[in-house]
Amino acid sequence: MFSTEKIALFVLLFVIGVSLIEACVLTFKQRDSATPFDWYEVLISLADLAGRKLLAFLPLSLATPVFALAWDHRIFTVTLNSALMVFMLFIGQEFCYYWYHRASHRIRFFWATHAVHHSPNQLTLSSAYRLGLTGKLTGSAIFFAPLVWLGVRPEIVLATLSFNLLYQFWLHNTWMPKLGWLEWVFNTPSAHRVHHASNVDYLDANFGGVLVIFDRLFGTYVEERADEPCRYGLTTPTRSRNPLVVEFEHWISLARDMASAGSVWTAIRYVMLPPGWRADGSAETTEALRQKHLSTVRE
């Protein structure tokens, strides 16, 4: 029998290997292109992955105390002894993931980590495992704690989240076309390309993990359009090839804004309001960028 550790190692090596194969193929295909394949993007993703694996040995996660508290005060004890219970866990986890992911785009404190995932200026399979070194420190586990409170064991919740993230690996590509009727229910490469795009029309969309049903339900689903090709990366692109800059530039900018806030309340708003919010009104939030875009179109 294979141990859990061996299976995890095999999956990790498989993901890295497939992403490197894709990188080699794209390098060959784009050799004469005006925008050749950028291997530095892959290397930064690998550095991020290696850093997170090293940090996993340190007791830095906020998930442990949050989940322990939720488990101690659980209202049920769930047994996954039927297909219905497994399905309900899947839907519940997908619901929690949707709100975690949406908050990661709409609350600057969480965005400071999540922006690392959106920093690649080309979308490839290696982008999938660039997740940011500070994720364990931000307390994002709070979004999944309700499942533990309802009686699902913490290790089961984390394992289900791992499967969700593993599913998303194949979504990070630009070469797979739309998948017909599957686009109505599942998160697909086309839907995820929109999520990673910095086009104004595509910002803050398609937050689902495996499914897009909650995006459709809560009005955040946006379809990829042939007349609006995706531009990948951040609205203010990250150009640095230094992994440390990529990892911490958004935390540094947040700290600078808080230091110059002038009041505690303004500093708190910098932390809790969407990325791009400015106390002086010169906002570059999604809403402000869309308003500016509409004004330009009308002119």
- Single-letter amino acid, residue 128: A
Cβ neighbours of residue 240 closer than 8 Å, sequence gap 6 or more: 246, 249
CA distance linking residue 259 with residue 278, whole number of Å: 13
Where is pLDDT greater, at 259 or 62? Answer: 259
**What is the model's pLDDT at position 298?**
63
Res 1 pLDDT > 60: no
Q: What is the pLDDT of residues 53-81, one digit of tens each?
A: 999 888 878 888 999 999 999 999 999 99
Residues facing 170 on adjacent strands: none
**What is the model's pLDDT at position 299?**
61
Place of tokens 């999938």: 128
- The pLDDT-based confidence of 112 (bands split at 50, 70, 90) is very high
**What is the model's pLDDT at position 222?**
98
**Do the Cβ atoms of 186 and 165 come closer than 8 Å?**
no
Q: What is the pLDDT of residues 236-251, one digit of tens each?
A: 999 999 999 999 999 9
Place of tokens 């599913």: 167
Measured at the CA of 1, the angle between CA 10 and CA 14, to 5 degrees, comes to: 10
Res 256 pLDDT > 70: yes
**Do the Cβ atoms of 270 and 108 come closer than 8 Å?**
yes
Structure tokens given for 14? 């498989």
**Do the Cβ atoms of 286 and 203 come closer than 8 Å?**
yes
How many residues appear in the chain?
A: 299
**What is the model's pLDDT at position 294?**
81
The reply to whether the predicted model has a pTM over 0.75 is yes
**Do the Cβ atoms of 107 and 222 come closer than 8 Å?**
no
Where is pLDDT greater, at 189 or 295? Answer: 189
**Do the Cβ atoms of 136 and 55 come closer than 8 Å?**
yes
CA distance linking residue 87 with residue 90, whole number of Å: 5
Question: What is the chain's mean pLDDT, rounded?
Answer: 95
**Do the Cβ atoms of 268 and 279 come closer than 8 Å?**
no
